Amino acid sequence: MTHDDRHPFETGLDRTGANYVPLTPASFLAGAAASFGENLAVIDGERRITYAALYARCRRLASALSGRGIGRLDTVAILASNIPEMIEAHFAVPMLGAVLNPLNTRLDAATIAFSLDHGRARVLIVDGDFAPLVADALRLVRDRPLVVEVTAPGAADAPFDAVDYEALLAEGDPDYAWAGPADEWQSLCLLYTSGTTGDPKGAVYSHRGAYLQALGNAVTFGLTGGSVYLWTLPMFHCSGWSYPWAVVAAGGTQVCLRKVEPAAIFRLIAEHGVTHLCGAPIVLSMIANADPEVRVSFAQTVRCATGGAAPSSTILRTMEELGFKVTHLYGATESYGPGTACLFQPDWADLPTEARYARMARQGVALPTVEGLMVADPGTGRPVPQDGVTVGEIMMRGNTIMKGYLGNPEATGGTLVGDWYRSGDLAVWHPDGAVEIKDRSKDIIISGGENISSLEVEEVLTQHPAIMLAAVVAKPDATWGETPCAFLELKPGSAPLTDAEVIAFCRERLARFKVPKTVLFGPLPKTATGKIQKFVLREQARALS
């Protein structure tokens, strides 16, 4: 078709620099600095950084990295806690069209080294608190990147040669004219998943996806210019679910927190008027079970978003009593963090308490920036009935699904199947459109031909006043095939609990075939992002057979 043969709506209506600019989350900071530059962007202890100052620092970092030869699609890794420099990296690196690789601070040196080599990191920015870990990792890498150290209060001198972060910024231009990506599909971030076997897989995000995910989170979580967001979620985890960009898009304030401790959380909420925070279920458990002497009262209601396992009714009740409004989210590294949210409906307020908590624990409906969400038959790919009973696999599609796994087409092809992202999570689909996870496909327990949801049993167990965390896995059984095996972590200071007492508690609340046959007590193994490592527990259960 020639130009003259095009439809009138396609003739003379072309893309230009005036009407088309590739989407990138870096633009949020430029807009914020131009619109309210003197507003407070970041709080870190005694430090206060305005939007104008944050933008200047990010432009300096981008300029200095460019001067060191870093450009389009070069990887800049960062290993740091929730500090301002982590926020700065989330803007400065995209400004260059380079790829940011936030690394999990809780991993071992060998895994860090693998990630640096696999992602071809040319620069590694490291928080001084993690210098010993980096020193071990650097001895294992094939190609040593340029190391830039952010000095940490009280940390010893780094045992390796490094460029000082502030000295690097001094090399840069605060008025640097950054270009951003040439195309919004261009790769922006590399996030390694904490797999249970084999090497980690590196999920790749695009500028377009991160831009839209940030806006989807801002709308869903109600962020505004008056929002004060506390960093209780690790920024290395799915790039902080895109909240480094989302808070800036809304013009809010970010409060940094190096270490998640209940006393610090309560103090910062009260001191800075925190309105929003996110975290894994373990964070909610820490807050709900905090010692009374560290709890500080605050006047505002704090919106708290959590992902992972559904919060128990006990946790939801305690959080409400303490002044938190909990929103349950669902997603994965592959979906830029949250893909669904359980949005509270007005008629839920009239439900009996336990029924209301059951609704709040669902995974909910798609974020506005997710194009498609369904629960489908894993074999046929066809949607299951929205009856709240039929079990299928959660599948999603849209711009906020990863581009794929770096250098791993086989894994990519097994996850992005046809037009859908296959999550591996089994759920039912309710008539109101909400999804509710019943289990991971590998976590369903099949006992005597009956399917048992480990999540259902865990919900009952955590209703016991002495139990803080519960994980239920399948234990091989010669008669039944599998039986539920419960691993329990008790609340600090609680009275001793016996397995007979736990089993009796469950028998009053569960069908007999769902009651755990084996009960074990002790600290539960957790991943680097706070999730319970069920694969470790499954191995322990098998060893008991």
Residues 431 and 486 in one domain: no
Residues 432 and 463 in one domain: no
Is the residue at 239 inside a domain?
A: no
Final residue of a structural domain among 440, 470, 491: 440
Q: For 452, phi and psi rounded to 5 degrees?
A: -120, 125
Final residue of a structural domain among 423, 440, 457: 440
Is the residue at 359 inside a domain?
A: yes
Quote the pLDDT of residue 251: 98
Quote the pLDDT of residue 480: 77
Residues 65 and 120 in one domain: yes
Is the residue at 182 inside a domain?
A: yes
Is the residue at 213 inside a domain?
A: no
3-state secondary structure at position 459: helix
Quote the pLDDT of residue 529: 62
Residues 183 and 160 in one domain: yes
Residues 175 and 266 in one domain: no
Kindly report the number of other CB atoms within 10 A of residue 292's CB atom: 5
Is the residue at 87 inside a domain?
A: yes
What CATH number is associated with residue 532?
3.30.300.30
Is the residue at 253 inside a domain?
A: no
Residues 460 and 403 in one domain: no
Residues 6+ apart with CB under 8 A from 526: 282, 532, 533
User: Please, what is the Cα angle at 313 between 447 and 271, to 5 degrees?
Assistant: 140
Final residue of a structural domain among 374, 407, 440: 440
List pLDDT tens digits, range 168-212.
999 999 999 999 999 999 999 999 986 544 678 999 999 999 999
Residues 6+ apart with CB under 8 A from 185: 206, 207, 208, 403
Quote the pLDDT of residue 455: 80
Assigned token pair, 519: 């009960």
3-state secondary structure at position 400: coil
- pLDDT per residue, tens digit, the chain (545 aa), is 455 578 889 888 899 999 999 999 999 999 999 999 999 999 999 999 999 999 999 999 999 999 999 999 999 999 999 999 999 999 999 999 999 999 999 888 988 999 999 999 999 999 999 999 999 999 999 999 999 999 988 777 888 899 999 999 999 999 999 999 999 999 999 999 865 446 789 999 999 999 999 999 999 999 999 999 999 999 999 999 999 999 999 999 999 999 999 999 999 999 999 999 999 888 898 899 999 999 999 999 999 999 876 778 888 999 999 999 999 999 999 999 999 999 999 999 999 988 999 899 899 999 999 999 999 999 999 999 999 999 999 999 999 999 999 999 999 999 999 999 999 888 999 999 999 988 666 677 878 656 687 888 988 999 999 999 999 998 988 777 789 999 999 998 888 899 999 999 999 988 788 899 999 999 999 876 677 888 889 889 989 87
What CATH number is associated with residue 78?
3.40.50.12780
Instruction: List the domain range (segments joined by +) for residue 126.
Output: 50-207
Residues 265 and 316 in one domain: yes
Quote the pLDDT of residue 146: 97
Is the residue at 465 inside a domain?
A: yes
Residues 264 and 371 in one domain: yes
Residues 199 and 282 in one domain: no
**Gap between the Cα atoms of 21 and 32, Å rounded:** 17
How distant, in Å, are the alpha carbons of 29, 53, 277, 390, 419 from that of 287? 32, 33, 12, 35, 40
Query: For the chain, how many structural domains are there in total?
Result: 3
**Gap between the Cα atoms of 193 and 404, Å rounded:** 12
Residues 190 and 326 in one domain: no
Is the residue at 436 inside a domain?
A: yes
Residues 289 and 432 in one domain: yes
Q: For 160, phi and psi rounded to 5 degrees?
A: -160, 160
Residues 350 and 425 in one domain: yes
Quote the pLDDT of residue 216: 97
Quote the pLDDT of residue 282: 80
